[in-house]
Amino acid sequence: MRLKFRHFSFLLMLFYMLSSSGVIGQNINLDLGPAEIGENQAWTITITVSNERLQSYDNFPDIEGFQKRGTSSSSSTQIINGQVSSSQSITMTYVPLRQGTFKINAFSMTVNDKVVNSPGMTVKVGPPIQRQQSRDPFRSLFDRDPWDSGGSTEFVDINEDAFLALTTNKDEIYVGEGVTTTLSFYVAESNRAPLQFFELGKQLSGILKDVRPQNSWEENFNIENINGETVDIKGKRYTQYKIYQGAFYPLNAEDIHFPQVGLKMIKFKVAKNPSFFGQNRKEDYKTFYSKPKTVKVKELPPHPLKDQVAVGDYILDERISSETLETGKSFSYDFNVFGEGNISSINKPSVSNDDNFDFYEPNVTQNINRQGGHVTGSKSFSYYGIPKEPGTYHLDDYFQWIFFNPKTAKYDTLKSNVVLQVTGESKKNESIQSNDLGSFYDQVAIADNTLRDLDHFEWVKILANILILGMLVASAIIFFKK
């Protein structure tokens, strides 16, 4: 009996342990700030993700009457009764621009690919809050004491294991070929120096003025949220924070020079003898500099159209309403160019017109994708045509598009593979009749075009002058009689 009871107790304890160590599911919350604040106080929106890493989130909403000040992040881990829970938060701080009552409409944000809704609220911004001037004896326990200048605390500077780098995916390109340029801040896993971005938006506008080459077309990847990504550099693990990424397409054979640029960061000094109640770090600044970079630009090989062709890796996707046509009836044909390159620079294909077809100017549709360090997309040219003569026609005799492929270092041509079968009566004569300009122009072909001397008509000029003089004299006599 005693043995069975022990077995039962063991099983009961095992069941309790298994039941109490269950996995806590993911939870995402949107927390809004207080309903009333002073004009000199901040208001916040906080995203909190529990039991999962905060990987991505939308832009925080713009709020009328408030200005975004910046974001801050935090994380925490708890172990309660054997259950491990963790949370990560990102907080956007807003400062009021004036006093008043502001309605924050309902909004939604996508966090970790999940849509989270907020009902919104009303925030009242009142007069500035007067801060207490009397010393709070408990404040220094948990926050920096404004009466303590830190004279008794010694702070030291820790060497950081981080750097700023401007990199390109190619060191040599052709004119018109794209080079993807990335400006990133790298922090090693072994880094112990506390670092934080400082006024990144303001700094970035000045940095890009120096980075952007004047002789190139730019496709900006528009990085809105700076999220860390783990990378391996020469066997060492870093967290990469992409600040800017864009593809540049040189318009001429001048080399692209990227100068050295600097990024100012907040770097905290830490207390030499940290304590639980005192201030353990002090804000300081350090500027990190990238190394200059040059990308060599080569001329395209000789070709009659080398100054006009697009550069990239492209394929053709064509569509036609029907390959069996009847003279005089219209058809549609789409010439779609797909691939990687400067999609904006793609021009329409050269179209040969003759007496067999009438082709009209195309409608143009363009799609550009900037992702994964590559610029891809398509440009579609939609034509309408009317066949005028029956017969069998190969559309590659009419539609051709020449480009330069930097991967093969050769010129290539995209041609149509469509073969048309046209039936019906000839419409060529109808086209000629529709262009008939009338009997006056019919006489042009038979009119005498012999050059004649104008002196043969001198007597005509004399007679005309006599008639004009007589009319003037008669008019004068009638005027004086009246």
Tens digit of each residue's pLDDT (9 = 90 or more) over 370-420: 888 899 999 999 999 999 999 999 999 999 999 999 999 999 999 999 999
The helix/strand/coil state of 82 is: coil
| Closest among 223, 229, 216 to 244, alpha carbons compared | 223
At residue 309's C-alpha, the angle toward residues 308 and 312, to 5°, is: 145
Comparing 181-190, 233-242, 409-418, 460-469, which segment has the lowest mean pLDDT?
Answer: 460-469
pLDDT for residue 12: 42
Q: pTM for the full model?
A: 0.58
The per-residue pLDDT for range 7-36, each reduced to its tens digit, is 444 444 444 443 333 434 568 888 999 999
pLDDT for residue 7: 45
pLDDT for residue 436: 47
Task: Say yes or no to pLDDT of 286 above 50.
Answer: yes
Comparing 131-145, 398-412, 468-482, which segment has the lowest mean pLDDT?
Answer: 131-145
The Cα-based distances of 120 to 89, 283, 331 in angstroms read: 19, 35, 53
Q: What's the average model confidence in pLDDT over 273-295?
A: 81
Identify residue 156 by its one-letter amino acid code.
V
The per-residue pLDDT for range 142-151, each reduced to its tens digit, is 334 433 444 4
Asked if residues 127 and 38 have their Cβ atoms less than 8 Å apart, the reply is: yes
Q: What is the DSSP letter of 354?
A: B
The helix/strand/coil state of 321 is: coil
The per-residue pLDDT for range 194-217, each reduced to its tens digit, is 888 988 888 988 999 999 998 899
Phi, psi of 441 (to 5 degrees): -75, -20
The sign one gets for the Cα dihedral 10, 16, 19, 20 is negative
| Closest among 158, 166, 164 to 265, alpha carbons compared | 164
Comparing 236-245, 322-331, 344-353, 412-421, which segment has the lowest mean pLDDT?
Answer: 344-353
CA pair distance 51, 72, nearest whole angstrom: 19
The per-residue pLDDT for range 77-119, each reduced to its tens digit, is 443 444 556 677 788 888 888 899 999 999 998 888 889 999 9
